[in-house]
């Protein structure tokens, strides 16, 4: 910025008046910010599309089948193909990057407590690696798109067990800063979501497969080697909720590339997840079983299916979902 000269008359100010000026400036800055942030907190979920996300699921007049999970879920299901295969038009997919069982249980809690919003069938992503992670909020869109009454609970689980300083700064960042772009660019953003989404699923994007060199260089990454107690509690809470609200629950672990899927820690966490779910009598489908997990073309990175992989998996899972919706046993029943 070009250095600004100042009006000569303004320079005859005492230190005391100067300090008052600076204090007023700081107070006005934070005062306006507080007003804007409060407004944002209570209205930002209105600036989201009814075509995707949690707000999109809530906007559905009737919800029979809900697919819920992280980016694995988003990139593994072709919602349109599942709709055609199952003949169920009242389905919706909700996905947020890195969303864990704690956040999923918060969403299901909210839906279950609202008349007419509770889905009859829920497919929960059973990504074992996230079972070993401390509850976290990787995708701030979950907070932004959540109704205001849900936000305190999301914040509480986000900052729980963390030192005050970093937790405060992260919460500040989340409440004040995140989502501002989506609000400012709302008409464009809503249009893009409408074009890009079909019942919460992504359309129109092509995720290329990997080269054999890239595929064989893949390494598994994980947060912990054993289930996190908070995530376990959330998993049990989801199953309790399903039981109390007569929700049909199905756990599905989507396919992972062979070099990652075969990692002992990943396998151990997957086994833990499956055992917990089936012990309570809930069906569990391991998407890796029978899937060509060693074909590089079917995966776009260490975690996600390519577009070709998604089509392959959708064709397989759609058959099982149709059977499950018809009340037939699928996967590994408990």
Partner 1 sequence: MLFNSLQFLYFFIIVTTLYYALEWRWRWKMLLAASCVFYMAFIPAYIFILITTILIDYWMGMLIAESTGRKRKIYLQVSIVSTCLVLFIFKYCAFFGMTVRELQGLLGAAQTFPITHIILPIGLSFHTFQSLSYVIEVYRDKQKPERNLGIYSLYVMFYPQLVAGPIERPQNLLHQFREDHPFDLDNVATGLRMMLWGLFEKMVVADRSAQYVDKVYGSWTHQSGLALLAGTLLFAVQIYADFAGYSNIAIGCARVMGFRLMTNFNHPYFARSFSEFWKRWHISLSTWFRDYVYIPMGGNRVSRSRLYFNLFVTFAVSGLWHGANWTYVIWGSLNGVFLIAEHYLSRAGWRYPANFIGSLLRRFVVLLFICFAWVFFRAPSLHSALYILQRIATDTTLSRQSVAGAVSQFAGDISSVAICAVTVLLIVVMLAIEYGQEYIFHSAHQLYIASLKYQFASTVLLFQLIMLFGILRASAFIYFQF
Q: Give the span between the Cα atoms of 22 and 229, in whole angstroms.
A: 49
- From candidates 169, 243, 279, 326, binder to partner 1 by CB under 8 A: 169
- Hey, CA dihedral for 310, 314, 316, 321, is it positive or negative? positive
CA atoms within 13 A on the CB side of 24: 6
- CB of 8 vs partner 1, minimal distance in Å: 9
Considering the rule CB under 8 A, would residue 45 count as an interface residue with partner 1? no
User: HEC string of 155-168?
Assistant: HHHHHCCCCHHHHH
In the set 88, 97, 136, 248, which binds partner 1 (CB under 8 A)?
Answer: 97
By the rule CB under 8 A, 38 interacts with partner 1: no
Give 175's DSSP letter: I
Number of chain positions touching partner 1 (CB under 8 A): 46
Please name every residue paired with 125 in a beta bridge, in sequence order, or none if there are none: 252
Contact 117, 246 (CB under 8 A): no
CA distance 292 to 44: 42
Using CB under 8 A, which residues numbered 178 to 237 contact partner 1? Answer: 180-182, 184-186, 188-189, 192-193, 196-197, 202, 204-206
The 51-70 contact track toward partner 1, x by CB under 8 A, reads -x------------------
Residue 334: DSSP 8-state:
-
Using the rule CB under 8 A, which residue among 23, 33, 39, 315 binds partner 1?
A: 33
Closest CA to 304 of 290, 287, 320, 317: 287
**Least distance CB 280 / partner 1 (angstroms):** 33
Residue in the block written with tokens 């899927």 = 261
Q: Closest distance between partner 1 and the C-beta of residue 179, in Å? A: 9
Using the structure block, give the residue that is written with the tokens 């595929």. Answer: 215
Query: Cα angle at 329 between 326 and 334, to 5 degrees?
Result: 140
Select the span of 57-65, 177-185, 239-247, 279-287 touching partner 1 (CB under 8 A): 177-185
Question: Which residue has tokens 């930002």?
Answer: 44
Residue 281 binding partner 1, by CB under 8 A:
no
* Among 130-138, 155-163, 170-178, 270-278, the segment contacting partner 1 (CB under 8 A): 170-178
Does 4 bind partner 1 (CB under 8 A)? Our answer is yes
Give me the least distance between CB of 38 and partner 1, in Å please. 13
The footprint of partner 1 (CB under 8 A) covers 1-7, 10-11, 13, 15, 17-18, 21-22, 24-25, 28-29, 32-33, 36, 52, 97, 141, 169, 172-173, 176-177, 180-182, 184-186, 188-189, 192-193, 196-197, 202, 204-206
């Amino acid at each position: 910025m070009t250095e600004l000269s100042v009006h000569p008359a303004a320079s005859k100010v005492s230190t005391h008046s100067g300090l008052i000026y600076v204090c007023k400036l700081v107070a006005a800055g934070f005062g306006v910010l507080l007003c804007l942030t409060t407004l944002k907190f209570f209205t930002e979920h209105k600036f989201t599309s009814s075509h995707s996300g949690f707000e999109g699921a809530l906007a559905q007049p009737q919800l029979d089948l809900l697919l819920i999970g992280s980016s694995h879920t988003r990139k593994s299901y072709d919602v349109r193909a599942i709709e055609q295969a199952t003949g169920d038009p009242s389905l919706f997919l909700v996905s947020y990057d890195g969303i864990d069982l704690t956040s999923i249980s918060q969403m299901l809690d909210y839906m279950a407590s609202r008349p007419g919003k509770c889905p009859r069938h829920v497919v929960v992503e059973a990504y074992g690696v996230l079972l070993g992670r401390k509850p976290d909020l990787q995708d701030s869109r979950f907070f932004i798109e959540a109704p205001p009454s849900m936000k305190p609970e999301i914040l509480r689980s986000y900052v729980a067990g963390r030192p005050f300083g970093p937790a405060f700064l992260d919460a500040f960042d989340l409440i004040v800063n995140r989502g501002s772009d989506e609000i400012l660019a709302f008409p464009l953003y809503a249009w893009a979501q409408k074009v890009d989404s079909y019942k919460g699923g992504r359309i129109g994007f092509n995720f290329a497969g990997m080269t054999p060199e890239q595929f064989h260089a893949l390494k598994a990454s994980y947060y912990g080697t054993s289930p996190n107690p908070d995530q376990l509690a959330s998993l049990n809470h989801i199953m309790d909720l399903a039981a109390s609200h007569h929700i049909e629950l199905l756990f599905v672990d989507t396919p992972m590339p062979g070099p990652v899927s075969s990692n002992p820690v990943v396998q151990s966490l997957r086994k833990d997840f499956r055992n917990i779910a089936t012990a309570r009598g809930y069906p569990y489908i391991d998407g890796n079983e029978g899937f060509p997990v060693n074909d590089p073309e079917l995966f776009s990175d260490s975690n996600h299916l390519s577009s070709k992989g998604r089509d392959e998996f959708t064709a397989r899972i759609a058959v099982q979902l149709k059977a499950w919706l018809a009340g037939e046993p699928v996967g590994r029943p408990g």
